[in-house]
Structure 1
Amino acid sequence: MLPSRFLAVATLLLSLPLQALAATDSIVLGMGCFWGAEKRMSAIPGVLDVESGYAGGDAERAGYRDVLNLEKRIQRGRTDERNHAEVVKVTFDPEQVSLERVLIGFWENHDPTQGDRQGNDIGSNYRSAIYYNSDTQRDAALATRDAYQQALSEAGYGAITTEIAPLRNYNRAETYHQDYLKKNPNGYCGLGGTNVAYPGTVPGDGQQLASAQAPEQLEASDLNRERQLIVFEAEDCPFCKQFRAEVLDHWSSDIPVISTLNPRPPQGWELEKALFATPTMVLFEDGEEVSRYTGYKGDKERFWKWLGFQILTPAQQRIAFEQGTERAFTGSHLDEKRPGVFVDPITGAPLFRSDTKFESGTGWPSFFNPVEGALTYHEDRSHGMRRTEVRSASSGIHLGHVFDDGPPPTGKRYCINGNVLSFVPDSQ
């Protein structure tokens, strides 16, 4: 016999008018990792609930580990079983939002041309998919696919690879996957798709006729083709804002930098692979990607180290990142006497003014006073000695050591490797 509370719920449901029971609809969509998909689809007005799950595979029951383990066997050629895709079950009120609008949100918020992958998430479990529960949903899926394919083709993208099939074997994902980005705001930010608008709409807002242009693609003529850093951002990405506040807003490096909300590089420039998260910093040389740094969580020193390995010579890298030392009288700037400032070779941050430089006779550039806040100090017990190492505060690279045998007024001698200094003369 059913408990009284279940009988009460059943009685209530039976008493409701038929139209009230059918007031909502749902459709299951695969857009790669379901964390970002859940966040994106939840933002559509009229969507009542978005649930992460697994669907489209042969197994009636499956969880996260089951899907991952099966994908490994598939990649090794040990099974021909169809795996589930990570999906979101989108429940919506048809009186508030149309099925077409929900599907437009699906198309615009991921790249449906990538096959068994989404960005750097590779495998059939990350495939693009629409799993319908009615002929009406199937017809809408096919019609919106054909319309969006035209827009993608005009933008230079390939064929849509989205699987469109009846829903089967849906499994709700584990509780810790539900509302993941709400519970874990440090999760990565998706790029929001290809940035190609569904015909007649603004990207990400399929309810409005296009009244504004998508973020413009960068113009190659405005950039430094020889070497250029491009920061790919997204509007609703908190880590993009953090990177801008901590790094971009204080940029003084010799490397030219520009940021963009458009996930495509300038016309004629080439990315090595698709972008999958923001911020992504890509270094281009001669219009081709040579390296990238994806994501940012306040790890400023790690970012500068990445950039340093791209722009410093092997000899400079040995000093900067391995606490190496150039041989006496062989480094740069030993005889530099012009008015100006010596700066960090990666960040461009000022380290020493030339009027604090003096002839020490040691064979290394020597200074009696750094720019305020430019250095950090660290105990160094290497080589059987006890010394004070100095590093650049902006990038964390090793510069040299400080000793107590310098001239007045400080009595300090900052003994610095000239090869990890850049010099900027004062403007005349």
Structure 2
Amino acid sequence: MNQQTKMSQNANYPFVVLGMGCFWGAEKRMLSLAGVVDVESGYANGEIDASYEAILAHERKRRMGLSELKNHVEVVKVWFDPAKTTLEQVLAQFWESHNPTQGDRQGNDVGSNYRSAIFTATEQDLPIAEASRKTYQQALDTAGFSQITTDITLLMSYTPAETYHQRYLQKNPNGYCGLGGTGVAYPSSQAFRPYPEWTLVIYGQQTAFAEDQFCNEVLKHYPLPFELRWQESASPLTLQLEQKGRPSAEFADPFSPPYTEFWRWLGHYLLTEEQHYIAFSQGTERPFCGPYLTEKRRGWFLDPLSGVPLFHSDTKFDSGTGWPSFFDVVADAVTLVKDRSHGMIRTEVRSASTGIHLGHVFEDGPAPTHLRYCINGQVLLFKHDV
């Protein structure tokens, strides 16, 4: 898709522009939210010409007292579908994904170009943004954090970032993210908790939680379908899974990408034996026997461990094969792998977040993609749109 076609499609949706530190991690974080149509890294609301090098040079001038011109903020422009999400829900993801109390910095990134900001497209959106700040401040007050420093104003100028910045972490999976939230949930966000009896307790020092790669790439990044609780401890980072408040299992290592051992460990407790076999041993459920085959409600089909949206009901169709089928997938939600098992050559579909096996994709689906994602219902969760 060329840039002109992309801009034309996005013009049909409302947007908000958000500054939350380095835009590489912010772009990936916001794109993972259900209902977000597209994101773009850029620069906003400064008083100089906008380019990456110019902004860094200008920030150095400001520190030396050589200029008082306002610098641009590294931002992500977030387009969203109002039929599938709301501005407040988008802002809930924004508040939870960074620390908005740090002034002109975010984590290790220091400078006014990294300040927290919400730039709205219309005057009508400003009260929603202000109300969301008040809501989140109350939650931060309870947790002992200081005052929010986020700049909330109308969008006055915006320039897309250079091509190499766009989808940076998709192109460079081990690249720098830089985001570190407070661990405080946005109060009005309605968390989806299909495993209500399970809680994952994180033991360690608060500074480790803010800086640890695993915490930032998994625990803070994914909309996990179970409760999380932080417990301050002098010990190295350790996870403990509790069932109905009673310890069931502990996980200490390894915490390194792609975190396969963690997901397998978690799946051992949250998934049934058959679900675990399908997810981690490339199994297949019997046709016409799995869940969601006749599910017709509007909603999202999620990864059962990370909670990441994989498919929307708008793309579901009756293929007559006996497995839930979809003609499209949420952007960047799955990976495709050549499968030569059972004497066949097929394309396996795996969840990009957890690596679990979902099913296969074939080229005999309906328009507009003509694809058929043939998925095991056992390894899906369904979240109904309210």
Relative to the length of structure 1, the TM-score reads 0.46
**CA deviations over 1:111-163 (Å, ceiling 9, x no partner):** 00000000010000000000112122101100000000000111111000000
**CA deviations over 1:356-407 (Å, ceiling 9, x no partner):** xxxxxxxxxxxxxxxxxxxxxxxxxxxxxxxxxxxxxxxxxxxxxxxxxxxx
Q: Is the aligned partner of 1:234 residue 2:223?
A: no
**CA deviations over 1:263-305 (Å, ceiling 9, x no partner):** xxxxxxxxxxxxxxxxxxxxxxxxxxxxxxxx9899xxxxxxx
- Please report how far the alpha carbon of residue 42 of structure 1 lies from its aligned counterpart in structure 2 after TM superposition: 0.2
Q: Is 1:38–1:52's contact at 8 Å kept on the other side of the alignment? A: yes
Q: Is 2:22–2:178's contact at 8 Å kept on the other side of the alignment? A: no
Find the counterpart in structure 2 of residue 47 from structure 1.
36
Percentage of matched positions with identical amino acids: 48
Structure 1 unaligned segments of length 5 or more: list them: 1-5, 14-19, 221-228, 239-254, 262-294, 299-428
Q: Kindly tell me: are residues 42 and 57 of structure 1, through their superposed partners in 2, closer, same or farther at Cα, counting changes over 3 Å?
A: same
- Please report how far the alpha carbon of residue 235 of structure 1 lies from its aligned counterpart in structure 2 after TM superposition: 5.3
What is the letter of the counterpart of residue 258 of structure 1?
L
Find the counterpart in structure 1 of residue 236 from structure 2.
257
Q: Is the aligned partner of 1:37 residue 2:40?
A: no
Find the counterpart in structure 1 of residue 150 from structure 2.
162
Find the counterpart in structure 2 of residue 84 from structure 1.
72
Q: Is the aligned partner of 1:173 residue 2:161?
A: yes
Q: Is 1:192–1:234's contact at 8 Å kept on the other side of the alignment? A: no
Moved over 2 A (4+): 20-23, 188-192, 207-220, 229-238, 255-261, 295-298
What is the letter of the counterpart of residue 151 of structure 1?
A
1: CA distance, partners of 2:18 / 2:10: 23
Q: Is 2:107–2:180's contact at 8 Å kept on the other side of the alignment? A: no
Find the counterpart in structure 1 of residue 185 from structure 2.
197
**CA deviations over 1:27-74 (Å, ceiling 9, x no partner):** 100000000000000000111111000001112x31000100000000
Find the counterpart in structure 1 of residue 84 from structure 2.
96
Match of 2:173 among 185, 191, 208: 185
2: CA distance, partners of 1:214 / 1:158: 27
Q: Is the aligned partner of 1:153 residue 2:141?
A: yes
2: CA distance, partners of 1:98 / 1:124: 29
Q: Is 1:41–1:90's contact at 8 Å kept on the other side of the alignment? A: yes
Q: Kindly tell me: are residues 214 and 72 of structure 1, through their superposed partners in 2, closer, same or farther at Cα, counting changes over 3 Å?
A: farther
Q: Kindly tell me: are residues 171 and 217 of structure 1, through their superposed partners in 2, closer, same or farther at Cα, counting changes over 3 Å?
A: same
- Please report how far the alpha carbon of residue 89 of structure 1 lies from its aligned counterpart in structure 2 after TM superposition: 0.3
Find the counterpart in structure 2 of residue 115 from structure 1.
103
**CA deviations over 1:170-218 (Å, ceiling 9, x no partner):** 110000000000001111345551110011447xx5x779968985464
- Where does 1:25-424 land on structure 2 (aligned, <5 Å)? 25-59=14-48, 61-190=49-178, 192-201=180-189, 216=201, 218=203, 232-234=212-214, 237=217, 257-259=236-238
SS in 1 for 2:66: coil
SS in 1 for 2:186: coil
Q: Is 1:200–1:209's contact at 8 Å kept on the other side of the alignment? A: no
Q: Is 2:22–2:179's contact at 8 Å kept on the other side of the alignment? A: no
SS in 2 for 1:257: coil
Find the counterpart in structure 2 of residue 321 from structure 1.
none
Q: Kindly tell me: are residues 190 and 146 of structure 1, through their superposed partners in 2, closer, same or farther at Cα, counting changes over 3 Å?
A: same
SS in 2 for 1:24: coil
- Please report how far the alpha carbon of residue 257 of structure 1 lies from its aligned counterpart in structure 2 after TM superposition: 3.2
Q: Is 1:114–1:161's contact at 8 Å kept on the other side of the alignment? A: yes
2: CA distance, partners of 1:128 / 1:69: 20
Structure of higher RCO (CA pairs closer than 8 Å, 6+ residues apart): 2
Structure 2 unaligned segments of length 5 or more: list them: 219-233, 241-254, 259-386
Q: Kindly tell me: are residues 69 and 160 of structure 1, through their superposed partners in 2, closer, same or farther at Cα, counting changes over 3 Å?
A: same
Q: Kindly tell me: are residues 56 and 182 of structure 1, through their superposed partners in 2, closer, same or farther at Cα, counting changes over 3 Å?
A: same
Q: Kindly tell me: are residues 41 and 160 of structure 1, through their superposed partners in 2, closer, same or farther at Cα, counting changes over 3 Å?
A: same
- Please report how far the alpha carbon of residue 259 of structure 1 lies from its aligned counterpart in structure 2 after TM superposition: 3.1
SS in 2 for 1:96: coil
Q: Kindly tell me: are residues 48 and 297 of structure 1, through their superposed partners in 2, closer, same or farther at Cα, counting changes over 3 Å?
A: closer
The CA RMSD over aligned residues, in Å, is 3.9
Paired residues in the alignment total 225
